[in-house]
C-alpha cells in the first residue's frame, strides 16, 4: 500500500481521497481553505452522462468530440463517456440526491448536447450538493480510521485531513515526485513525503478580474507541476462562460437557463444569436461568449440581456434557486425583467498533461479534474462534462497508483499520450525570462488580471498578445516565503500571485504561438482554424530535482 498525498478538496480530490482510503492506502488530504471550499461547490449546470434509454455512450462521445474542435484525445473521450454512468451511480451511493420527477431522475438539455442528459441536484446547486455529500463521506472515512482500535491489523489513521494548508512546491528527487512543500495554518513551511502525489487543485480563474471561480482558484497545482518539470499543455484554451451576472462578484448564470428557453438580447432588444449559429443560444460556449463580446463592443461595453421572463416565476424559483437569490441580492427580479450578463473566465481546458490513468510526465505525480489536461475536452469543453471528468479520472488515478501495469498496459508505455509524443504545432519559442532579480517591479494580481483580460481574454490578437508578453517580461516574479510577508494571509497571496504570474506568461506565450482560431481560443488576426496545428506544450527544460527555478521553454 502507498503513502498518498491528495491536494485539493473539490470533486476530484474528494473522490481520490475516498477511493484511495478504501483501497487501503494511507492518505493525507490537504486543501488551501476549508474542506468544502472549491470550484465544485459553485458548479450549477450539472453532470452529463448517458444514463437514459434514448441516449447512448456513442452519442455523448460524438457531442464531446464535436465541441472539442478537433483537439480531443478520442481515447480519453471514450473513457469519459463509457465510465461516466458508473461514476454518477457512485455519487448517488455517496449520498448525492439528484433531482427527481414523476418519471424518475430529472434531466436537462444544455448547449451542444444532442440529448437531454444533464443531471442536477437542488436545481442549480449541483456542485454544492455533490461537495456536501463527498465532504461528509471523507469526514466519515477519516473518523472511522481515527477510531480503529490499536493493536489490530487496521490500526492507525489511513486518512488525515489538513485544512488551510497550501501547496507551495513539489519535491522531486532522481526525476521522481517524492512529496511536496506545504504552507501550514501556522505560517510554517513543511515537507511532506509521499509515494504518490495527486493534484486536484482546480483551475486558475483568478488570472482574470471577471470569473465565475472563487478567489482561491489560482492554479497552484499546475504552476507547481510545471516548475517541477512536468509537462503542461493547451493553456491558451480558457473557456469563458457566456453568461455571468454583470454585478460585483460575477455570479454564474447557468447554461441550463438557456436550455430551458431563456434568450439573449442586445441593448435594442434584438435576439442576436439567431443570426450567429443554428443553435442560437445553445450554440457552443465559445461561439456564444464571442458573440456577446462583439455585441457589447458595439454598445460601448454595456452588458447584453438574458431574457428568462417567458419561463415564469415558479419555474425560475424552483429550478434555479441559487441564481434567483443572486438576482435578488443585486436588486434584480429576473421573472419580470431581463438581467444583464457578460462573459467571465470559467474553465481551463489545459493543464498538467496526463495519460488516461491520470499519470503526469513525472513519475509519482498524478493530476485529476481541472488541473489536468486529459485530452477529454480538446479546445472547448462540452457543457457539464467537467464534474464527470473529475469523477472518472480521479477514480482511474487511484486504480493506477503504484501499478506497473493497468488493464494489461505497461505504465511507462501508457505515458506516450503525455509530453514526449504529444503532437505539437509550429516552431519552438521561449518567452522572455523574468526572475525576482529583475530591475522591474514585482507583478501584482491586479496588474496580471488587467493584462490578461485586455489582451488574452475572449477576443485576442497577435498585436495584443505581444504587448501582454512584453509587459509580463518587464515585471519580476513576486517575492515569496516567510521573509517576504509578515502575516499568513499575505504569505498565501504572495505564493498565489507568483503562481498566477508563472501561468500568465506561459498562457500568453502559448496563445501568441497558436496562429489560428479554434474552440475557446480566438485570434482576430487568424480567424480561421488550421487543422494541421496540434497542441501547445510548455515544460521546464529539465526536471527540477532541487526545487531551484528551471529554465522555461515552450514548444508550440
Report phi then psi at 367, rounded to 5: -140, 135
**pLDDT range class, residue 424, cuts 50, 70, 90:** low
Q: What is the mean pLDDT of the chain?
A: 89
Q: Which three cell numbers stand for residue 398?
A: 487511484
CB 418 within 8 A of CB 456: no
Question: Which residues have a Cβ under 8 Å from the Cβ of 79 and sit 6 or more positions away?
Answer: 356, 376, 392, 393, 396
Where are any strands of DSSP class E within 246-395?
263-265, 304-307, 339-348, 351-353, 365-367, 372-373
Dump pLDDT digits (tens) for 133-189.
Answer: 999 999 999 998 777 665 555 555 589 999 999 999 999 999 999 999 999 999 999
The pLDDT of 460-473, averaged and rounded, is 97
> For position 550, what pLDDT does the model report?
32
| Candidate from 70-74, 353-357, 540-544 with smallest mean pLDDT | 540-544
Cα–Cα distances (Å) from 324 to 27, 310, 313, 320, in that order, read: 39, 15, 10, 6
Rounded Cα distance between 426 and 72, Å, is 19
pLDDT(427) > 90:
no
Question: Does the pLDDT at position 465 exceed 70?
Answer: yes
User: Mean pLDDT lowest for which of 174-188, 271-285, 436-450, 533-547?
Assistant: 533-547
pLDDT above 90 for 18: yes
Q: C-alpha distances in angstroms, 236 versus 434, 470, 536?
A: 20, 17, 8
CB 469 within 8 A of CB 462: no
Name the least confident of 119-123, 149-153, 205-209, 365-369. Answer: 149-153
Please give the pLDDT value at position 518: 94
Q: How large is the average pLDDT for residues 99-128?
A: 89
How far, in Å, CA of 380 to CA of 372, rounded? 14
pLDDT at 554 over 60: no
Structural domains of the chain in order of their starting residue, each with its CATH number: 241-345 (3.90.700.10), 423-555 (1.20.58.100)
**C-alpha–C-alpha distance, residues 546 and 341, integer Å:** 47
Give me the helices (H) in 214-284, please: 220-228, 255-259
Which is it for strands 47-48 and 263-265: parallel, antiparallel or unpaired?
unpaired
Phi, psi (degrees; rounded to nearest 5) at 113: -90, 135
Q: What is the CA radius of gyration of the chain?
A: 22
| CA–CA separation, 476 and 501 (whole Å) | 9
Residue-level pLDDT at 153: 52
Under the banding of pLDDT at 50, 70 and 90, the label for residue 483 is: confident
Residue 359: is its pLDDT beyond 60?
yes
- What is the share, in percent, of the chain residues with pLDDT greater than 70? 88
Judged by phi (left if over 0) then psi (alpha if -120 to 50, else beta), residue 205 lies in alpha
Alpha carbon distance 516, 526 (integer Å): 5
> Quick one: cell of 381?
469543453
Grouping H, G, I as helix, E, B as strand and the rest as coil, residue 55 is: coil
455-472 as b/e: b if 16+ CB within 10 A: bbbbbbeeebbeebbebb
CA atoms of 263 and 490, how far apart (whole Å): 43
Determine the Cα–Cα distance for residues 161 and 138; give it in Å rounded to an integer: 9
Least confident span in 110-124, 140-154, 376-390, 438-452? 140-154
3 state SS of 436: coil
Residue 376 and residue 75: Cα distance in Å, rounded? 8
Distance in angstroms (rounded) separating the CA atoms of residues 533 and 535:
7
> Which candidate in 87, 141, 227, 285 is catalytic?
285
Note the pLDDT tens digit of each residue in 50-71: 999 999 999 999 999 999 999 9
What per-residue confidence (pLDDT) applies to 409?
Answer: 52
Strands 372-373 and 405-406: unpaired
To the query of whether residue 285 is one of the catalytic residues in this protein, the response is: yes
pLDDT, tens only, 501-550: 999 999 999 999 999 999 999 999 999 999 999 898 887 644 444 444 33
Query: By CB neighbour count within 10 A (0-12 exposed, 13-18 middle, 19+ buried), where does 413 fall?
Result: exposed
pLDDT of residue 481: 84
pLDDT for position 151: 52
Residues 6+ apart with CB under 8 A from 312: 335
DSSP class of residue 282 equals G
How large is the average pLDDT for residues 456-476?
A: 96
Label residue 416 by pLDDT band (50, 70, 90). very low
> What is the mean pLDDT of the segment spanning 115-134?
94
Contact 306, 339 (CB under 8 A): yes
Rounded to whole angstroms, the Cα distance separating 467 from 511 reads 12
Q: Which helix or strand (DSSP H or E) is residue 17 part of?
A: helix 11-22
Nearest to residue 245, comparing CAs of 316, 329, 319? Answer: 329
**Angle formed at CA 496 by CA 491 and CA 497, multiple of 5 degrees:** 100
pLDDT greater at residue 277 or residue 554: 277
Helix (H) / strand (E) element for 399: namely helix 386-400
pLDDT in the model for residue 44: 81
pLDDT score for 260: 93
Q: State the pLDDT confidence band at 438, using cuts at 50, 70 and 90.
A: low
CA 91-96-98 angle, to 5 degrees, is: 105
Amino acid at each position: 500500500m502507498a503513502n498518498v498525498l491528495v491536494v485539493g478538496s473539490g470533486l476530484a480530490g474528494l473522490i481520490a481521497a475516498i477511493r484511495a482510503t478504501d483501497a487501503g492506502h494511507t492518505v493525507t488530504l490537504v486543501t488551501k481553505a476549508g474542506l468544502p471550499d472549491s470550484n465544485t461547490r459553485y458548479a450549477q449546470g450539472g453532470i452529463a452522462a448517458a444514463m437514459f434509454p434514448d441516449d447512448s455512450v456513442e452519442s455523448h462521445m460524438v457531442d464531446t468530440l464535436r465541441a472539442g474542435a478537433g483537439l480531443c484525445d478520442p481515447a480519453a473521450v471514450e473513457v469519459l463517456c463509457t465510465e461516466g454512468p458508473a461514476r454518477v451511480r457512485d455519487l448517488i451511493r455517496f449520498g448525492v440526491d439528484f433531482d427527481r420527477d414523476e418519471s424518475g431522475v430529472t434531466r436537462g438539455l444544455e448547449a451542444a448536447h444532442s440529448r437531454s442528459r444533464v443531471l442536477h441536484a437542488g436545481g442549480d446547486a449541483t456542485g454544492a450538493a455533490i461537495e456536501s455529500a463527498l465532504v461528509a463521506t471523507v469526514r466519515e472515512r477519516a473518523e472511522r480510521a481515527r477510531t480503529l482500535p490499536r493493536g489490530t491489523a487496521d490500526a492507525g489513521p489511513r486518512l488525515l485531513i489538513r485544512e488551510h494548508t497550501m501547496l507551495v512546491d513539489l519535491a522531486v528527487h532522481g526525476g521522481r515526485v517524492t512529496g511536496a512543500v506545504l504552507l501550514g495554518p501556522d505560517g510554517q513551511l513543511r515537507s511532506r513525503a509521499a509515494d504518490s502525489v495527486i493534484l486536484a487543485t482546480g483551475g486558475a480563474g483568478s488570472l482574470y478580474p471577471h470569473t465565475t471561480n472563487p478567489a482561491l482558484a489560482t492554479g497552484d497545482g499546475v504552476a507547481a507541476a510545471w516548475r517541477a518539470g512536468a509537462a503542461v499543455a493547451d493553456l491558451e484554451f480558457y473557456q469563458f462562460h457566456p453568461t455571468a451576472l454583470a454585478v460585483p462578484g460575477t455570479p454564474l448564470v447557468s447554461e441550463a437557463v438557456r436550455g430551458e428557453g431563456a434568450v439573449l438580447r442586445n441593448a435594442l432588444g434584438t435576439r442576436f444569436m439567431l443570426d450567429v449559429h443554428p443553435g442560437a443560444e445553445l450554440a457552443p460556449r465559445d461561439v456564444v461568449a464571442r458573440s456577446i463580446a462583439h455585441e457589447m463592443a458595439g454598445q460601448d461595453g454595456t452588458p447584453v440581456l438574458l431574457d428568462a421572463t417567458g419561463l415564469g416565476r415558479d419555474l425560475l424559483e424552483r429550478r434555479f434557486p441559487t441564481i434567483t437569490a443572486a438576482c435578488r441580492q443585486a436588486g434584480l427580479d429576473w421573472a419580470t425583467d431581463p438581467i444583464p450578463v457578460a462573459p467571465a473566465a470559467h474553465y481551463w481546458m489545459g493543464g498538467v498533461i496526463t495519460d488516461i490513468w491520470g499519470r503526469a510526465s513525472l513519475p509519482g505525480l498524478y493530476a485529476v479534474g481541472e488541473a489536468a489536461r486529459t485530452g477529454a475536452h480538446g479546445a472547448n469543453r462540452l457543457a457539464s462534462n467537467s464534474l464527470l471528468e473529475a469523477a472518472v479520472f480521479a477514480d482511474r488515478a487511484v486504480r493506477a497508483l503504484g501499478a506497473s501495469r493497468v488493464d494489461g498496459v505497461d505504465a511507462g508505455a501508457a505515458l506516450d499520450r503525455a509530453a514526449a509524443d504529444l503532437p505539437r504545432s509550429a516552431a519552438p519559442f521561449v518567452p522572455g525570462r523574468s526572475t525576482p532579480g529583475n530591475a522591474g517591479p514585482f507583478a501584482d494580481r491586479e496588474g496580471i488580471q488587467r493584462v490578461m483580460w485586455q489582451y488574452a481574454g475572449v477576443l485576442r490578437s497577435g498585436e495584443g498578445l505581444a504587448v501582454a508578453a512584453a509587459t509580463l517580461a518587464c515585471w519580476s516574479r513576486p517575492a515569496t516565503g516567510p521573509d517576504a510577508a509578515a502575516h499568513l494571509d499575505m504569505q498565501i497571496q504572495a505564493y498565489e500571485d507568483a503562481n498566477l504570474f508563472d501561468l500568465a506568461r506561459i498562457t500568453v506565450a502559448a496563445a501568441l504561438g497558436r496562429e489560428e482560431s479554434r474552440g475557446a481560443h480566438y485570434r482576430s488576426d487568424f480567424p480561421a482554424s488550421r487543422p494541421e496545428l496540434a497542441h501547445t506544450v510548455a515544460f521546464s527544460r529539465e526536471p527540477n530535482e532541487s526545487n531551484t527555478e528551471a529554465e522555461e521553454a515552450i514548444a508550440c
